[in-house]
Structure formats: structure tokens, C-alpha cells
Amino acid sequence: MPFVKKSFVVAENIKAFLYLIREHKLSQGEAQSLMARGRMLIDGESMRDSSRVICGEIELVYFEPKSRGVSPLFKSKDFMLFEKESGILVHPNTMATEYSMLDEIRHISGRHANAVHRIDMETSGLLMASKHKGAESSLKMLFEKRVIKKSYLAWVDGKVTKEFEVDEPLKVRNDYSQSKHKVEVNPKGKASLTHFKPLKYNKDLDATLIACYPHTGRTHQIRVHLFHVKHPILGDPIYGTNFDASNNYLEGELSKEERYIFTGASRLMLHAQSLRFHYKSDFYIESKIDFDAMKCEICGKNERVFNQSEV
């Protein structure tokens, strides 16, 4: 488990945040963040007052990466790119998370390395990480300003024959009583635009491989836009399946077999394929994964229990 708890002895009276800065080489912000999260313990209780004077035995909970041997696809002195597998988190979402890409990132480049953009746990493909704080700030800014151009590949339900765009505003939902969709098309939402280009149709699977080019970066943008035009991404456990299947997935009660037939695939068939950007030089980096071949994860059209016609 990447989060560990270790004991230390503070020899002389000192303010908690100063102890962390001097003895553990943290920045002031890092020290205060550690304490705000309750990761300094005295007598087994979290101590969040960073200005409190401490002395004697304390415990610290911190992230200690455990690598599984994943090497970067590409690396420079400032950043790295990894091929993330579907089902792997980028960051641990709780201290009980056994493994995330942050384990590999910090195993290679230390505690100041970090992922610089979001990619859903269910999505596979390219993930960029900075090697140091200076690069992290600069690269995150490029993503926020949409200077870094991304492309994705997706296997979707049904036959798509022409290029098209979806220009529909998206809004995060706050009521999940009737639908488990996190995001919906809503006129009160934020402007969202995605361009889609069909690449290949598989008749046996009744599935189309398409390239996706998001011009904005909203949560679940590609998934919701494709669901909106009635070509949901196969294997999507939230969009394009029924309420019960979505709810069971979120509750961790949807079996692999049920997911396969109720969503149309054993995993979300969405892959981060390429990144084009300028950072001290021009870069165009593509995933080396053969996502076309990933169609082996798709459930046959005659086996799928729940399909778009029932949505």
C-alpha cells in the first residue's frame, strides 16, 4: 500500500510546520497540506494545528510509491508520458488505494513529480507527468489554455459513416435519483465541442472505431457527446446502459459477466491516442497500443442484453 505510517522523535520543542520543513525537507505549502489532511498524529490522533509546538514521539502518514515496473513511453528532463491501462487510477482516491499511476511517476522522478492532466480511471492511453514543480505548473497551464491538442479512439455502438461534430453544452448533475449520469447535455451548462471521424466499421460486432478530437475539456465530454447522438462508447458503465447496471457498477456489485453483456464490452472502449504540443520544442506523441485490436474486448451484438434502442 503506497501510504505508510512511520514514527519519529522530535528532540526539542518546535512548531509542527517548521519541524516538517527542516527535518523532512518539505516546502511550507507541503507541510501545511500534510497537516490539513490529518497526516501528523500524536497519541494516535490527527493533529491539524500547524503552529502548535510539538515534542516527543509523533507519527507521519505519507505516500511511499510502490512500482509495478511500468516504464515511460517517452521522457525528457522535464516530463514523461506513460501508457495507462484501463482500470488504473491516476492518483489514489483514498489512503487505501493499493496502486495508481502516481506510484510509477514518483518511483521514477521523486516526490515532486506529478500527473499534469486528468484521465478517467476507465480510459486507457497517454498520460503526461511532470518531473519537477516548475514543469508541473507550466504543463498544467498549457492544458488549461487548451494549447495541448488531444485525440482519442473509441469503439462505439452502431454504424457511423460520416464525420460530425457535437456542439452541446455540458453540466454536472446534482440529482442521481433517476439517472446515474454524472454529466448531461444542458443549455445551462458550459460550452463543449467535439469532432468525430469514423475509421472502421465491424459488422459482426455492430461497432465503429472512431477518432475523437475534443476542442474543450469538460468532464466525461466524449462519453456524453457520443451518448447524446445515440452511439455510446461500448463498455461504458454509466452512459448508454440502464439504471440498475449503472447503480450496481457504482456500488461495486456489477460482475464482470454482467458488465460484458449489459454495457457491450469488458472495459470502457476509450483510449487517449495522441498529444500534440509545444514545450521548449514541438512534440507529437502517439500511443503504441493497437486499439483496433482491442475489439476483442467487445461483446457480440447478439449477446448484448441492453442496447441503444432500449435507452
Helix axes 28-36 and 16-24, enclosed angle (nearest 10) = 120
**For residues 215 and 28, what is the distance between their CA atoms, to the nearest angstrom?**
37
Respond yes or no: is residue 292 known to be catalytic. Answer: no
Q: Considering the candidates 103, 120, 236, 244, report the single residue annotated as catalytic.
A: 120
**What one-letter code names the amino acid at 228?**
H
Exposed/middle/buried for 111, CB within 10 Å: 0-12, 13-18, 19+?
A: middle
CA angle 172, 176, 178 (to 5 degrees): 125
Instruction: Please give the torsion angle defined by the CA atoms of residues 89, 92, 93 and 98, in that order, rounded to the nearest 10 degrees.
Output: 90
CB atoms within 10 A of CB 236: 27
Please identify every residue annotated as catalytic: 120
